[in-house]
Amino acid sequence: MVSSLTGRRDSITWIIVGVVITVLVAFVLYSFVGAIVVGIFLYYATRSIYRWASPWTDRRSLSAMITLLTVGLPILLILAYAAFIGIREVDRLFVVTDLEQLRTVLEPYIDLVPGINEQGILGILRNNVSGVRGIAAAVMTWLLRLFVIFTLAFYLLRDDHKISRWFRRSFENQPAAVTFMEEVDDDLETIYTGNLITIGASGLLAVGVFYGLDLVAPAGTGVQFPILLGLLTGVATLIPAIGMKLVYFPYTAYLVWQSVSTGVGPLWFPVVFFLVTLVVVDMVPDILIRSYVSKGEINMGLMLLTYVLGAVTFGWYGIFFAPLVLVFSIHFFRDIFPILLGSDTTTS
């Protein structure tokens, strides 16, 4: 009896210790939740490339480093540049269309680096010492975030097999937990290497095409805000059935209306815009990269809402964090929750 009480007391003590450690770790990680989430995205986005390239080298560390520098870094740079230019074009669109009251929505993103939007870096260096300090603080913050992102992605790539082996050994008597994490892992790979890369590839292709069309457009007409329009086109690929047609159909109608009402540009340009976008931007990605999106069982409409609501709710890292929340929630309520209800029913 004494030994039983002692064992129970020891178990309670270790549980308390575990809770305290968990709270402390969560508190530390909370400050870098955005960087951690992006690091997880970078791991999944580069994992297939890493596994393809790893047999060519003898060291897993070298393979992980090469993969991150040649694939992971360009992905982040492209995403960051597209987001920065897209936000700036939305801000300019609000000014052009007399919707400046909506600019408050963009302020947290425009002001990520204080003062840059208004004066430029050289102007701040000349006229505003506090602005220079703000820029220095922002640069240091983002460098620290980048360090966390690449460090996490590096060790996940290098040691994911060890993590998997530890988890399977720890939960060998809980097959539902192992199945749960395997399905979560599969869906996250589908989302991060499939959906986001599909959005990025479609968006970049659309931006390039729109810029090209703008160059050949007659004087007085053209494609306004090509980067913003391209990013919207990429995101629209997630909408079932109609997809990016929701973007370029209305814009073609706008070009036709502009040509007819003002008489500035000829009607051939809207026709060329529509046909080129239909073939190059819509059909080509659908044929070449749609297979990534078709994997998995997550509804694409729900996925689209997740991206939008995630960005609004969590800020700059929401587009990466919201899919993580969605995948864990879906598999918990679909696979684990019925088991818990069944066990409750049995015990009662």
Q: What is the pLDDT of residues 124-140, one digit of tens each?
A: 455 555 556 767 777 78
So where are the chain's domains? 1-30, 176-348
Neighbours of 22 (CB within 10 A): 10
* Higher pLDDT, residue 10 or 345: 10
113 band by pLDDT with thresholds 50, 70 and 90: very low
- Contact partners, residue 296, CB within 8 Å, separation at least 6: 186, 187, 190, 191, 194
Region of poorest pLDDT, from 26-30, 119-123, 132-136, 250-254: 119-123
Q: Please report the pLDDT score of residue 348 as a whole number.
A: 40
121 band by pLDDT with thresholds 50, 70 and 90: very low
User: Closest Cα to residue 145, out of 322, 317, 335, 328?
Assistant: 317
Q: What is the DSSP letter of 104?
A: G
User: Closest Cα to residue 217, out of 164, 175, 272?
Assistant: 272
Neighbours of 61 (CB within 10 A): 13
Helix (H) or strand (E) holding 191: none
Region of poorest pLDDT, from 114-128, 254-268, 289-303: 114-128
Mean pLDDT across 263-287: 82
On whether the CB atoms of residues 306 and 326 are closer than 8 A, the answer is: yes
Q: Please report the pLDDT score of residue 192 as a whole number.
A: 83
**Most confident region among 44-48, 128-132, 218-222, 300-304 by mean pLDDT:** 44-48
Q: Please report the pLDDT score of residue 345 as a whole number.
A: 43
347 band by pLDDT with thresholds 50, 70 and 90: very low
User: Closest Cα to residue 339, out of 171, 180, 186?
Assistant: 180
pTM, entire model: 0.72
Taking only the tens place, the pLDDT of each residue in 144-162 is 888 999 999 999 999 988 9
4 band by pLDDT with thresholds 50, 70 and 90: low
Q: What does the buried/exposed string (b/e) look like for 261-280 if buried means 16 or more CB atoms within 10 Å of the residue's CB?
A: eeeebeeebbeebbebbeeb
